[in-house]
Structure 1
């Protein structure tokens, strides 16, 4: 009997030892995982700060490749550069065609006042504007008149034949409001705003009476025999103008700086009979492929689940597209580079989407969503950045009911000096447009906009002639690369698949009706044909 008791005691001791060993192993494993997660985050931060490639990427993309208007050779050059850069880092990349676009290439633009004096003017041809040829065109100027109605305008229209038409309002001041507010007397500032409002109302009435809008009148002037059009879309900042497309088939359209446009307008209005010469040497290239540039770090455990780093690659071409969306592009590229170096074998696949033709209606991301339902079904999260060079200051749950649970977990790993700037809004409401995350949200995939601090984005760089390398704030972009890389790492490693459950959307205060989830929309796959 004593032997049996002894054996029982030994057996209990052995069981206790095994249990203790198992507990110690579990604790050790838990500690190891925690340490590994912290180690990876620390390595991400160190790599971003000590070996940043952002300045190099920005120089190569903005300075050397330049603007990336859809349908231009520069867009193809940008894709070739990105693919080569990804492959240099050991990341597989490809160009993925989804349609065609009107091919066009910007050439030299010269605009000169040649009478009553000679002045070289600051201006540029608009996107997809017809060429003047090397000899250019020289002509008198005429202003859209004040008419009683559209019938009177039609009677006036023959006056544009052989002339260059001024189609924008003459701005009363080239000083932004903040400059007036700083230096003017309160009375003078208020008077300027009142006078400007009156001018804008009068110009709006003038345009309305023609029967056309600023978007449709160019075609009518072209049909009536005008040989060129000059506009000035001031962006309410010193030297900043919005640069978009021409909307003509045969005659050139140029945008002039506020200062030079005002000069021509005043001369024309006062009967000084100004004459200008326009040389705009663009090229038509027929239909060309339009595409996305895709890179991938394949997942090791869940390769069919995806964390997507998202930014549109294209831009308007008034400048070099530095903050729209060069900074978003290099943020995602830098995050991918860092992850490949410190986290080369992710749990889930990390996919980098450099989307094409966002500026014409989110076409690249919409095509990707439409063409890859299997990837959309496996999305863990999409992180999109597309509103300037500033540090991220806002993240919305986009209407996903449980977004706080997983976004909150991932943000918890991000250093406090980054998260202290960020406000969150959960569950939020789904974005119906604005940038590429909306294409994924419409398909029910958890996609989030990493919304940035302004840095005067809307006035000075968004779609303007000033959107250049020198406007990039690299400390803020580095901040965003670190944030993106850590959130992508945490999303990849998360033990749970993200929830797609949608919240009950609030009432639209404008319409009084309940908001509905946005519907997926198909991309334009044969673009620019209406511009030709």
Structure 2
């Protein structure tokens, strides 16, 4: 495509003309085909709409590799897959070690009620749960009791020996609030909400009276000789549970669905003495190296200035990590493919960071920021995506005083059908966490979040057992890939260097003190170990 637009021939005058065209887009109802005379942009849009690779990328990553828990063999398999994929596209890529983590490999889980009746239960072991070593655990399930205080709890603890202990509240209803709101009368709905709130407060009080934190409660039950721990971390939607990590070190911890947790809970409550058989196989792998995958298209005029794409690669492993953050991962990979095909000789160097251990505290991106000041200090812009499969609808200036100037210039070249969906907020406020752009913002580097519309992300797919390929909305991700590719292209071509000047933050209403820019937090370089 250099015959149409060579980056070295992109003069300031032509850039200004392009900006005029972009400004016209904001004011009129021109279609995209009429509004852009830039062949690079046209080719990016046409390629993505006619020859998208997103479905294939999603299948290979989510169906074949699967979830990508930090320290797991699948995480390393994903790193290697991405490097190979970039290589196939003619893009230089590498796996860059940033730390070590407790290695763990999930095996088969099978949970059955065997008394007072037989039923195979829906559930899974938590990440890093100890293995039942192939033999399985057969035991009665009991409920964490109400106690007067921590002394009473300690007196009760010997009762857990040889038992499976249920330490989660049994939800008042397995129906989502939306379902109640739609079908119940107003009085019934209000009654339900009160019962739900009262039950949550009562269970919180029950846990508080043990005198222990969640982690120490699990360890105390384990030390007292329990056979295992059963929880329910319902995500307030049909069929969905959050699946995080286990606190036990010797006995299994499993999560049961809200339906089956309720069944076992009621059986225990009414004296039916439910007996379960749990097989939860897993393998400890010791400390294993952890990596970020970095891909690069070298700049031709300003190779030591950088424009970055960003998405975390790791996931929790209750499902396949599709919307958190397989969707962001394949979007950034596809954007890189488009840029390599139609903009192979960028003015500035283009990088993409696929980060490890975001779920445990942005560790991969924090390590990159610490290890690469030469990149961070010369960053034109970074674009991160990490909140589901939806189209991008929000873009904040993250507290950078001049962000409106350059982000608006670049956004003007994006097709109306994509751009008009996006609400901007300038100068905005600096993000202190949540996803990897914050690692860059903390050190004053212009990192921006391409924030997506929900698609019920928080309830149905975020960290749940239902975050799978079928939840992806590819048309939305296609739009996001086009957006990201064009924003990177424009950032590379911009004759001006972006400003990282920060705003003066307003007074904190709660403390009455001046606002403070989020501090840099060091990466955890050795994780999952005591």
- The bucket for the TM-score relative to the shorter chain is over 0.9
- Distance of aligned partners of 1:222 and 1:43 in 2 relative to their CA distance in 1, 3 Å threshold: same
Task: Report whether the alignment pairs 1:442 with 2:457.
Answer: no
User: Deviation at 1:63?
Assistant: 0.6
Q: How many residues align?
A: 506
Residue 116 of structure 2 is matched in structure 1 by 116
Residue 329 of structure 1 is matched in structure 2 by 329
Residue 24 of structure 2 is matched in structure 1 by none
User: Deviation at 1:28?
Assistant: 13
Contact 2:439 2:520 in 1 (8 A): yes
Contact 2:437 2:447 in 1 (8 A): yes
User: Deviation at 1:227?
Assistant: 1.4
Question: In 2, Cα distance between the equivalents of 1:257 and 1:163?
Answer: 20
Question: In 2, Cα distance between the equivalents of 1:360 and 1:388?
Answer: 18
User: Deviation at 1:520?
Assistant: 1.3
Q: After superposition, give the CA deviation of every residue in 1:141-183 in whole Å (9 maximum; x if it has no partner).
A: 1111111100100000110011110000001111101111111
Residue 128 of structure 1 is matched in structure 2 by 128
Q: After superposition, give the CA deviation of every residue in 1:445-498 in whole Å (9 maximum; x if it has no partner).
A: 000000000000000000000100011011110110000000000000000110
- Distance of aligned partners of 1:153 and 1:32 in 2 relative to their CA distance in 1, 3 Å threshold: closer
Q: Which shifted more, 177-186 or 56-65?
A: 177-186
**Per the alignment, in what secondary structure is the counterpart of residue 289 of structure 2?**
strand
Question: In 2, Cα distance between the equivalents of 1:216 and 1:424?
Answer: 44
Q: How does 1:77-476 map to 2 (within 5 A)?
A: 77-476=77-476
User: Deviation at 1:215?
Assistant: 3.7
User: Deviation at 1:257?
Assistant: 0.1
Contact 2:311 2:384 in 1 (8 A): yes
Question: In 2, Cα distance between the equivalents of 1:231 and 1:214?
Answer: 11
- Distance of aligned partners of 1:231 and 1:212 in 2 relative to their CA distance in 1, 3 Å threshold: same
Q: Return 5+ residue gaps in structure 2 as ranges.
A: 1-8, 22-35
User: Deviation at 1:29?
Assistant: 7.5
Question: In 1, Cα distance between the equivalents of 2:254 and 2:324?
Answer: 22
Question: In 2, Cα distance between the equivalents of 1:38 and 1:143?
Answer: 66
Residue 485 of structure 2 is matched in structure 1 by 485
Question: In 1, Cα distance between the equivalents of 2:418 and 2:512?
Answer: 38
Contact 2:10 2:493 in 1 (8 A): no
User: Deviation at 1:186?
Assistant: 1.2
Contact 2:12 2:495 in 1 (8 A): no
User: Deviation at 1:513?
Assistant: 2.1
Question: In 1, Cα distance between the equivalents of 2:90 and 2:10?
Answer: 35
Residue 64 of structure 1 is matched in structure 2 by 64
Question: In 1, Cα distance between the equivalents of 2:266 and 2:156?
Answer: 21
Question: In 2, Cα distance between the equivalents of 1:500 and 1:26?
Answer: 24
**Per the alignment, in what secondary structure is the counterpart of residue 216 of structure 1?**
helix
User: Deviation at 1:216?
Assistant: 3.0
Residue 520 of structure 1 is matched in structure 2 by 520
Contact 2:331 2:480 in 1 (8 A): yes
Question: In 1, Cα distance between the equivalents of 2:12 and 2:422?
Answer: 34
User: Deviation at 1:508?
Assistant: 2.1
Q: Return 5+ residue gaps in structure 1 as ranges.
A: 1-24
Q: After superposition, give the CA deviation of every residue in 1:396-424 in whole Å (9 maximum; x if it has no partner).
A: 00000000000000001001111111011
**Per the alignment, in what secondary structure is the counterpart of residue 214 of structure 2?**
coil
Q: Which has the larger radius of gyration?
A: 1
Residue 17 of structure 1 is matched in structure 2 by none
TM-score scaled by length of structure 1: 0.93
Question: In 2, Cα distance between the equivalents of 1:526 and 1:412?
Answer: 44
Question: In 2, Cα distance between the equivalents of 1:514 and 1:301?
Answer: 41
**Per the alignment, in what secondary structure is the counterpart of residue 386 of structure 1?**
coil
Question: In 2, Cα distance between the equivalents of 1:506 and 1:225?
Answer: 53
Question: In 1, Cα distance between the equivalents of 2:501 and 2:13?
Answer: 33
Contact 2:394 2:424 in 1 (8 A): yes
User: Deviation at 1:27?
Assistant: 11
User: Deviation at 1:512?
Assistant: 2.6
**Per the alignment, in what secondary structure is the counterpart of residue 281 of structure 1?**
strand
**Per the alignment, in what secondary structure is the counterpart of residue 353 of structure 2?**
strand
Contact 2:389 2:473 in 1 (8 A): yes
Question: In 1, Cα distance between the equivalents of 2:235 and 2:11?
Answer: 60
Question: In 2, Cα distance between the equivalents of 1:525 and 1:289?
Answer: 10
Question: In 1, Cα distance between the equivalents of 2:10 and 2:510?
Answer: 56
Question: In 1, Cα distance between the equivalents of 2:166 and 2:71?
Answer: 28
Question: In 2, Cα distance between the equivalents of 1:117 and 1:488?
Answer: 60
- Distance of aligned partners of 1:337 and 1:206 in 2 relative to their CA distance in 1, 3 Å threshold: same
Question: In 2, Cα distance between the equivalents of 1:26 and 1:197?
Answer: 61
- Distance of aligned partners of 1:272 and 1:411 in 2 relative to their CA distance in 1, 3 Å threshold: same
TM-score scaled by length of structure 2: 0.93
Question: Aligned-pair RMSD on alpha carbons?
Answer: 1.7
